[in-house]
Chains A and B, each alone.
Chain A
Amino acid sequence: MANSFSAQNFIALSDLRPNLARPSIIGMVIGKTDVKGFPDRKNIGSERYTFSFTIRDSPTYFINVTSWGKEDYIKSLSRSFRVGECVIIENPLVQTKEIEKEEKFNPTTPSSYKLLLSENHSVVRICSSYQVDMKLLSLLHLPIRDSRDYYSLGDIVANGQNLDGRIINVLAIVRSIGDPKYFTTSDRRKGQRCEVKLYDETEPSFAMLCWDNESILLAQSWIPRETVIFAADIRINFDKFRNCMTATVISKTIITANPDTPEANILSNFARENAEATALDDEIEAQLKESINLQTIVDVYTVEQLKALALKNEGKTYPFYGILYAYISTLNIDNETVKIARNRCSGCGYFVSEASNTCTSPFCNKDSSGHKSVFLSFDLMIDLTDHTGTLHSCSLTGTVAEETLGFTVHEFLALTEEQKTTIKWQFLLERSKIYLKFLLSPKARGGLRTYVLSCKLADPIEASRNLSGKSNKLENLESRY
């Protein structure tokens, strides 16, 4: 264990004092805010940047860390780690905290101090998780409050508007994680919003809103119908528009995913027992939602514009949507050597390995025998080409593929090779109108993962009108993201 980092080699957060010479500390990042810029009063016209995070090195102790500095330094420091990672900080400035001022916007900590990082004096190093001592890692699953000090969702609903504006703790299961939405405020600031649906034994669905990038990123790592969260210091509001109670993640909130507590274990078992029923509900809901979504997708792009966009937004993970009028240039559906359908697990929807034919996904809740039923689903990779280039390996799967080809997967597999070839040529190299979902992904070819939401032969009049359109959709998109 020569390379492992444990809290023993460092000064404990509980022992930090303002007059220590060059202290070194280690801790798990349990909370983090977005980077913000402020006008620099000493240097008119320029901006200073800041962000804060919270680190923990023991079950009882955690502390807030704030960093100020130039845009480049702050942004690159903030980018270098996420919630759930372990950091070593050398030579932070230990400051006594003014509780009222400090805790208005930052997590409430047991420490009477806070730490300041400066570009010139402090160093932050990120430890990879396999180097980190188990004792430190286990802190990620320990809520920062007493494990019994929470409201069930039913309690929140029962209290209703009495809880409007209150900051409380919530323990619940993640039901679904919505796609982040992006917008520009009336004062031209960019914003984002992501709605997470929670549930527990008392309430089937309860909205939790995230308005900052860090909590949205964190939410993307949760697994629907499996992850249990303990959200400490979350704000409860009455949503007049929807006439219901909602929770909002604020800068004080610290969320512990999959807490290792008896209460969370009970909830986790409940999630496991009900996974199938809620999955079915959500699938129906998702299908309804997808059909509404298609109508809201209006921006038309060329392949070139999409590639430029992927390059420009490298590193971001937000999905975006668009319409492409393009030709399918690869459609391998009549070649015996290419697999076009695979089994999916009915429990979690993941593709199942052919060898075992059982779900090996670590996210899947298996029943006691370890077996889940599987269903056959189209799994095609198509290339889309227009007059500006090609998008490779766009994913065309499930019911979207069935609607596109006009056959269910079982009907299609029963066709002769000749019939499959005929069907292929109904679509191959024909101009199509394709609704797409894009995920920027550094691992994918061209930095873009592309999912087909709908694909139909294009009406030539509509296609030519849209392709020759004078409005520059790329500029629209850039201003939005």
Chain B
Amino acid sequence: REGPAKCPAKLQDGPSLRIVPAGIESMKRWRELAARCPLLFEVLAVLDSAVTPGAQGAKSFLLRDGRSAVPCVFYETDRELPRLIRGRVHRCVGTYDPDRKLFRCVSVRPATVSEQKTFQELVRTADAAMSRCSQLTGAV
């Protein structure tokens, strides 16, 4: 398959799902660069809004790390969103929708202290692996 698939060609079964620890900006960047690769992102960021209910069990909120922010949505399909506290760091896993510029979270919970301490190191490791992968197809 030609095009911007960002996985090594030798992985015969096509690009498989990756879960990438990322900052808000790098999440947007990887989503764009690895357009055909199924990606979930793990983001640690501060809740910077109230959590507001919407249609079909949607709960919306805003996450912020440094200067970047992203609107998020969580659908309460099989369980309720736990109580989130504005100003605290939360760990969210989900997909990024570049058209709506929306982070669709499937797992949201407060981040532990040791997760906060180690997260940047994990982001660096994932960044390096994703860059290497992009270089293999010459797309970066």
Contact = CB atoms under 8 A, between A and B. Distances in A.
Given A463-B118, A468-B121, A468-B124, A304 B19 contact: no
Interface string B65-90: 00000000000001100000000000
A387 B7 contact: no
Contacts of A326: 19
Nearest to B41: A387
Contacts of A385: 16-19, 40
B56 interface: no
A442 interface: no
Given A429-B40, A461-B117, A464-B125, A307 B11 contact: yes
Nearest to B20: A387
A311 B9 CA distance: 12
A329 interface: yes
Given A425-B79, A425-B107, A460 B18 contact: no
B23 interface: no
Judged by DSSP, the binding face of B is mixed
A428 interface: yes
B24 to A, nearest CB: 17
Interface string B120-131: 011011100110
B122 A329 contact: no
B13 A387 contact: no
A327 interface: yes
Contact of B129 (A327, A329, A387, A459): A387
B7 to A, nearest CB: 7
Contacts of B19: 326-327, 329, 385-387, 429
Interface in B83-140: 93, 106-107, 112, 114-115, 117-119, 121-122, 124-126, 129-130, 133
Contacts of A327: 19, 42, 93
Contact of A389 (B11, B117, B121): B11
Contact of A390 (B16, B20, B93, B124): B16
Contacts, number: 91
B74 to A, nearest CB: 12
A389 B18 contact: yes
A387 B18 contact: yes
Given A304-B8, A387-B18, A388-B129, A429 B106 contact: yes
B10 interface: yes
A259 B124 CA distance: 61
A463 B122 contact: yes
Contacts of A176: none
A392 B118 CA distance: 27
A418 B117 CA distance: 33
Interface string A403-425: 00000000000000010011001
Contacts of B106: 429
Contact of A422 (B79, B107, B117, B121): B79
Given A460-B117, A464-B121, A429 B107 contact: yes
Interface residues of A, number: 36
A304 B129 contact: yes
Interface in A19-37: none
B130 to A, nearest CB: 7
B19 to A, nearest CB: 5
Contacts of B16: 303, 385, 389-390, 392
A334 interface: yes
A462 to B, nearest CB: 9
B15 interface: yes
Nearest to B126: A387
A421 B106 CA distance: 13
A429 B129 contact: no
| Interface core residue of B19, B78, B115, B133 (most chain A CB under 10 Å) | B19
B115 A460 contact: yes
A392 B17 CA distance: 10
A470 B21 CA distance: 19
9 contacts: A304-B8, A308-B8, A329-B17, A383-B17, A385-B16, A385-B40, A387-B19, A387-B21, A467-B125
Q: Which 3 A-B pairs have the closest CB atoms?
A: A464-B118, A390-B16, A387-B126
Given A387-B19, A421-B78, 17 more contacts: A304-B11, A304-B129, A308-B10, A327-B19, A385-B19, A387-B130, A388-B18, A388-B129, A422-B79, A425-B79, A429-B19, A429-B93, A460-B114, A463-B122, A467-B121, A467-B122, A468-B124
